[in-house]
Amino acid sequence: MRTESPILYNSAMTTKIENNELQNIELVDDKALAGMLNMSVSWVRQERSKRLKKLPHNLNIDPIYVASSPRYRFSDVENWINGLAKEAHG
């Protein structure tokens, strides 16, 4: 019996992520992201909702959905935080 490789889709951009790319991806959930940003879990969820509805928002990281659970690439979170730091320091 042949099994298919798992494929994840980023809902906002419909980016297909093949199985061989999964080896180097570390994903964080809403709670972990909120902790990293020192924000509440509800803020993360509200920001994601605003982004998906194309409303003004601050969190500019596309989630990856594993089943119906949103996850974020750790590297995307780091890049976003670094970008904020660069903006703050001009």
Report pLDDT for 88.
76
Contacts of 3 (CB under 8 A, 6+ apart): none
The pLDDT value recorded for residue 87 is 80
Annotation: CATH topology of 8-89: Multidrug-efflux Transporter Regulator; Chain: A; Domain 2 (1.10.1660)
Question: pLDDT tens digits for 28-64?
Answer: 999 999 999 999 999 999 999 999 999 999 999 999 9
pLDDT of residue 75: 93
pLDDT of 14 > 60? The answer is: no
CA–CA separation, 86 and 31 (whole Å): 25
Residue 46 region by backbone torsions, left for phi larger than 0, else alpha for psi between -120 and 50, else beta: alpha
Compute the mean pLDDT over every residue in the chain, rounded to the nearest whole number.
81
> What does the pLDDT average to over 18-37?
80
Specify the pTM. Answer: 0.70
pLDDT on residue 80 = 94
Hey, which residues does 27 pair with through a beta bridge? 73
